[in-house]
Amino acid sequence: MSNAQSADGQLRMESPLGPRMRIGGREVDYFCGTSYYCLHSHPDVIEAACVATRQFGMGPGTLAQMQVYNDLQDQLRTWFNAEHVVTLISGYSSPMALLQGLRDAFDIVFVDAATHYSARDALRTLVKPIHSFRHLDPGCLADALARNVAPEQRPVIVTDGVFPSSGALAPLHEYRRAMDRFEGALLVIDDSHGVGTLGPSGRGSLQHAGLESDGNFFAGTLSKAFGASGGIIPGSGELAEKIAANAMIMRGASPLTPGAAAAAAAAMHILQSNPEMKDNLARNVKQLRSGLRSLGFDVPETPVPIISVWGGPDLEHLRLKLDARDIIVRVVKPSGYSDAPDVPTMRLAVFSEHTPEQIDRLLSSIAELI
């Protein structure tokens, strides 16, 4: 066990999250997690949360309207160019609310075998036939559709947009082609790691793929790129009405806290006012991906700020050696997360606020240690 970890193996964080932070009594370079713009620790985001909490308290204790929710709705509509954005207490529950909202529009479900637990848990609530297809395999999806969709049935395909452990991008174009022969086929993605980071204006995997069109839907979170917490479902007013009618979480759960709503609105304003943050993230992703390829790792060229490597060196030994140099990375056990492969993997997360020197130090250290 390293000094950075507690007895249960968890990192002992002693400062706000960032590219350089205090963990286990030490200042370290941090290449883990999901705060792709480090907005969780931005002073304006923290101050917005504090002001809203002092004004409104920890929450309404029931379903209620507050101006802070209206302010967040305005920011979300602008960001996603959407008529309405449903917000709810947790990003984990947003795929459930979306699928339940759409349940009358499909008859049979096809799900990528490695889709996140949030979508898998959501599917159990639908009382619909469910078929799994091989991870990232549009050919397997096409075969499954051909075998299982009866005349007049409308399928829905469920997948992550960006897979959280590997950083793999779902082949959404290929999935859409496999679906096109089925009238009314829907595509629903959990895009928690895509919103904010992918697409020309940060609207996520559908924008990145050029698939922002009828029949394609996504759910996401405010807890990663947007530096706060809570679930989001951008779409039309009609979709929002369907979710309100069919998803009981919208009636039975408290909304996100006023502090989280204010934090998210502040974070989105910061990103809109500072487009160089997105440029910096793209630069850092490119630097780390190309550097890992130069070391012999099989790393694809994508804009995703999650990079997973496996094979070759003993990754746990490498992690410990990096830890000794005050560089924190994560090693995922075989099949240790929803999409993790059945071999150990080192999952690296790069942020817009990492300096090129930090990334060079990580790469040079790996080169020396493998």
- What's the CATH code of the domain at 289? 3.90.1150.10
Decide if 202 is inside a domain. yes
Q: Which of 252, 273, 294 is the last residue of a domain?
A: 273
Q: Is 147 exposed, middle or buried (0-12, 13-18, 19+ CB in 10 A)?
A: exposed
> Cα 25 to the chain's mean position, in Å?
29
pLDDT in tens, 147-203: 999 999 999 999 999 999 999 999 999 999 999 999 999 999 999 999 999 999 999
Instruction: Give the residue among 92, 83, 134, 93 at the shortest CA–CA distance from 110.
Output: 134
Instruction: Report residue 60's pLDDT band, with 50, 70 and 90 as the boundaries.
Output: confident
What HEC string does 304-325 produce?
Answer: CCEEEECCCCCHHHHHHHHHHC
Place of tokens 């941090």: 30
Q: Where are the beta strands (DSSP E) in 193-297?
A: 216-221, 231-235
Q: Mean pLDDT across the stretch 313-321?
A: 96
Instruction: Report residue 65's pLDDT band, with 50, 70 and 90 as the boundaries.
Output: confident
Decide if 13 is inside a domain. no
Instruction: Report residue 6's pLDDT band, with 50, 70 and 90 as the boundaries.
Output: very low
Instruction: Give the residue among 200, 280, 202, 272 at the shortest CA–CA distance from 234.
Output: 202
Judge if 170 and 298 occupy the same domain: no
Judge if 144 and 279 occupy the same domain: no
Name residue 332's beta-bridge partners. 345
pLDDT in tens, 226-264: 999 999 999 999 999 999 999 999 988 989 999 999 999
Residue-wise over 161-187: b if at least 16 C-beta within 10 A, else e?
bbbbbbbbbbbbeebbebbeebeebbb
Judge if 235 and 334 occupy the same domain: no
Judge if 280 and 268 occupy the same domain: no
Provide the CATH number for the domain around residue 129.
3.40.640.10
Instruction: Report residue 64's pLDDT band, with 50, 70 and 90 as the boundaries.
Output: confident
Judge if 151 and 24 occupy the same domain: no
Q: Mean pLDDT across the stretch 6-16?
A: 73
Judge if 25 and 105 occupy the same domain: no
Interacting residues of 339 by C-beta distance below 8 A, sequence separation 6+ = 114, 115, 116, 135, 160, 163, 164, 165, 166, 168
Q: Mean pLDDT across the stretch 27-33?
A: 97
Average pLDDT score, the chain: 95
User: How many beta carbons lie within 10 A of that of residue 220, not counting itself?
Assistant: 31
Judge if 202 and 328 occupy the same domain: no
> Cα 181 to the chain's mean position, in Å?
30
Dihedral, CA of residue 212, residue 213, residue 214 and residue 216, to nearest 10: -40
Decide if 338 is inside a domain. yes
pLDDT at 10 over 50: yes
Judge if 266 and 297 occupy the same domain: no
Decide if 350 is inside a domain. yes
Q: Mean pLDDT across the stretch 81-108?
A: 97
78's enclosing H/E stretch is helix 67-80
Decide if 36 is inside a domain. no
pLDDT in tens, 37-52: 999 999 999 999 999 9
> 323: domain range?
20-30+275-369
Domain count, the chain: 2
Judge if 269 and 165 occupy the same domain: yes
User: How many beta carbons lie within 10 A of that of residue 50, not counting itself?
Assistant: 13
User: How many beta carbons lie within 10 A of that of residue 281, not counting itself?
Assistant: 23
Judge if 77 and 184 occupy the same domain: yes
Decide if 310 is inside a domain. yes
Q: Which of 245, 273, 301 is the last residue of a domain?
A: 273
Q: Which of 228, 253, 273 is the last residue of a domain?
A: 273
Decide if 323 is inside a domain. yes
Judge if 281 and 211 occupy the same domain: no
Judge if 241 and 356 occupy the same domain: no
Number of H helices and number of E strands within the chain?
13, 13
Instruction: Give the residue among 243, 180, 176, 188 at the shortest CA–CA distance from 216.
Output: 188
Decide if 2 is inside a domain. no
